[in-house]
Amino acid sequence: MSSPVLCGIDAGGTSCRAMVVSADGSRLGKGHSSGGNPNHYGWERSGISFLEAVNAACQEARISISDIVGLYVGAASIVTASDREAVKSLVKAWPLRPGCAVGVDHDIRIALEGGLGGRAGIALIAGTGSSCYGRNSSGETWQAGGWDQLLDDLGSGYDIAQKGLAAACREADGRGEKTFLRELCFGALGVDNIADFAVKLHRPKWRRHEIAALAPLVFEAASRKDSVARVILNEAARQLADMVTAVQIRVFPARDPEIIFSGGLLEHSSDYSERVRREILDQLPGARIRQREAPPVVGAVSLAAKEAGVSFDYPHLNLSF
């Protein structure tokens, strides 16, 4: 091909996406696979998901993986130098061309790169998990949240769903307020009593992304003016705003940065994104919350171009995925 081929990978807790693009901005192909968070699937399974998505993108584009000159992976739970090296080792085992530039970082880095077109600012993600990341014009960075469900994931789909399930449990055994969540959660699991409810969730034990998929039940209850569900969502929104404030204090202490939202919850639930927006503006009245310019996978392609030292232009790129 006359124009160098670049590849970006966006690996989240629920799905993995890849896009191959020519450096002149012509999209060549896209691919999907299962989740690629190494904390939940392990390195081997995550590496397989990365490669499946890339192969699907290359197949759609009718190119070989060896045509790629620059590749960048943005993956959930990549937080240490050893994490980055582990992913690089997986990728470099692929049949890439000699000298192919490979970069790796967490998924919020690529969300910021795509969302603001490479400009300084803050990216807030809420999907299966949650995290926030900021980078200023001097290259200083800070991350708040994103430490996985054992320690964090506040404001995420997993967090909201887990609290909805707990509220249903507490009402069922007599400890909690009356809530539509009991009816909705029991109905979703096909049970009518608390004992079967607990067993259904533990035998076999539900995985993180499966729990997160129940978050819409909390939104449904809130739409019925359920006070318990509304408290859950308001607290979740406040937790996300707290992340943004923590990042702003660290890397933008003297000015109000641009902020973009990413992740399924913030992109597909206007009610929740509005709650989060109000909480952010309550804490940071001068915050400039923007519509993202491109999805994270395009941010990964942009960073792949920087790794490879080639120019990349995507104003006319078809960004639908």
What residue spans define the domains of the chain?
5-117+293-308, 145-290
Helices (H) then strands (E): counts for the chain: 12, 10
pTM higher than the cut 0.85: yes
DSSP 119: -
Question: What CATH number labels 5-117+293-308?
Answer: 3.30.420.40
Q: Which residue has 């192919």 as its token pair?
A: 100
What per-residue confidence (pLDDT) applies to 234? 97
What per-residue confidence (pLDDT) applies to 43? 84
What per-residue confidence (pLDDT) applies to 146? 86
How many other CB atoms are found less than 10 A from the CB of residue 137? 11
What per-residue confidence (pLDDT) applies to 37? 79
CATH class of 145-290: alpha beta
Q: Which phi and psi (to 5°) does residue 320 adopt?
A: -65, 145
What per-residue confidence (pLDDT) applies to 257? 92
Indicate the helix (H) or strand (E) that contains 201: helix 194-202
What per-residue confidence (pLDDT) applies to 232? 98
Intrachain domains 5-117+293-308 and 145-290 with the same fold:
yes
pLDDT tens track of the chain, all 321 residues? Answer: 568 899 999 998 778 999 999 887 777 899 999 887 787 788 888 889 999 999 999 999 999 999 999 999 999 888 899 999 999 999 989 999 999 999 999 999 999 999 999 999 999 999 988 999 999 999 999 999 988 777 888 999 999 999 999 999 999 999 999 999 999 999 999 999 999 999 999 888 888 889 999 999 999 999 999 999 999 999 999 999 999 999 999 999 988 899 999 988 998 888 999 999 999 999 999 999 999 999 999 999 999 999 999 988 765 555 555
